[in-house]
């Protein structure tokens, strides 16, 4: 299972490099999300086989949102502007990570 986790992380990391090449801030957020996805997968490793894709995404999303604070810190205005962008980045990383992780 650990091999699947590292393989999913590697695949999504390469996709992040391509997708977010133009924005260092967005790339940093995406990499932080990916790191949190990997942490989540290691914590939940024994239960991953029992998760549906929906359950895995929901659980991982909650973990990311609880732990992503420092990458998104800033003023209230910045937070409002970036909240939509950050949400989109989280969803993109999450979708790609879970898809690669649950591949059989």
Q: Annotate the chain with DSSP letters as a single string.
A: -HHHHHHHHHHHHHHHHHHTTT-HHHHHHHHHHHHHHHHHHHHTGGGGGG--HHHHHHHHHHHHHHH-HHHH---HHHHHHHHHHHHHHHHHHHHHHHHHHS--
| pLDDT score at 48 | 83
Q: What is the pLDDT of residues 67-97, one digit of tens each?
A: 887 656 555 555 665 678 888 999 999 999 9
| pLDDT score at 74 | 57
Q: What is the pLDDT of residues 46-58, one digit of tens each?
A: 888 888 889 999 9
The tokens of 97 are what?
Answer: 């990570």
Q: Beta-carbon neighbour count of residue 8 at 10 Å? A: 22
Look at 78 and 7; give whichever has higher pLDDT.
7
pLDDT band at 13 (very low <50, low <70, confident <90, very high): very high
In 1-104 the beta strands, taken as DSSP E runs, fall at none
């Amino acid at each position: 299972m650990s091999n699947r986790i590292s393989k999913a992380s590697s695949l999504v990391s390469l996709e992040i490099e391509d997708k977010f090449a133009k924005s260092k801030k967005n790339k940093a957020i995406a990499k932080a999300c990916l790191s949190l996805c990997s942490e989540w997968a290691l914590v939940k490793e024994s239960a991953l086989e029992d998760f549906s894709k929906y359950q895995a995404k929901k659980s991982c999303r909650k973990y990311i949102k609880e732990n992503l604070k420092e990458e998104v810190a800033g003023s209230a205005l910045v937070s409002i502007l970036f909240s939509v962008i950050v949400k989109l980045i989280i969803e993109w990383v999450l979708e790609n990570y879970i898809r690669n992780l649950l591949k059989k």
